Structure 1
Amino acid sequence: MKRSKADLQDPAGATAPADLRPDAGLAAVEFALIAPLFLAILFGIFVYGLSFGAWLAVRHAAAEGARAAVAGLNEAERKTLGEAAVDAIFTGFDPVFKPSLMQREAKVMPGNNHLFEVTVTYDLSSYGLSVFSKLLPVPATQISATSIVPNGGY
Structure 2
Amino acid sequence: MRRCFSLPPSDADRRGVAAIEFAMVAPLLILMMLGMVVYGGWFWMAHSVQSLASEGARAAIAGLDPLERDALARSFVVAQAEDLGLQSQRASIEVESTAAVIRVNVAYDISDHPLMALSAIVPSPPRIIRRTAVVRLGGY
Do these two structures clear the TM 0.5 threshold for a shared fold by scoring above it? yes
Determine if the alignment matches structure 1 residue 27 to structure 2 residue 13: no
Q: What does 1:1-154 align with in structure 2 at a 5 Å threshold? A: 21-94=12-85, 97-108=86-97, 112-127=98-113, 129=116, 131-133=118-120, 135-151=121-137, 153=138
Deviation at 1:107, TM superposition (A): 3.2
- In structure 1, distance between residues paired with 2:81 and 2:47: 11
Deviations for 1:59-114, whole angstroms, at most 9, x for unmatched residues? Answer: 111110000000111222211111122123211123xx322221112232xxx544
**Structure 2 counterpart of 1:10:** none
- The gaps in structure 2 that reach 5 residues or longer are 1-9
Deviation at 1:130, TM superposition (A): 6.1
Checking the alignment, whether the CA contact within 8 Å between 2:78 and 2:88 is kept in structure 1 is yes
One-letter amino acid of the structure 2 residue matched with residue 73 of structure 1: L
- The gaps in structure 1 that reach 5 residues or longer are 1-15
Partner-residue secondary structure (3-state), 1:63 = helix
Report % sequence identity. 33
Moved over 4 A (4+): none
Q: How many residues align?
A: 129
Could you say which structure has the larger radius of gyration? 1
- In structure 1, distance between residues paired with 2:122 and 2:81: 29
Partner-residue secondary structure (3-state), 1:86 = helix
TM-score by length of 1: 0.72
TM-score by length of 2: 0.78
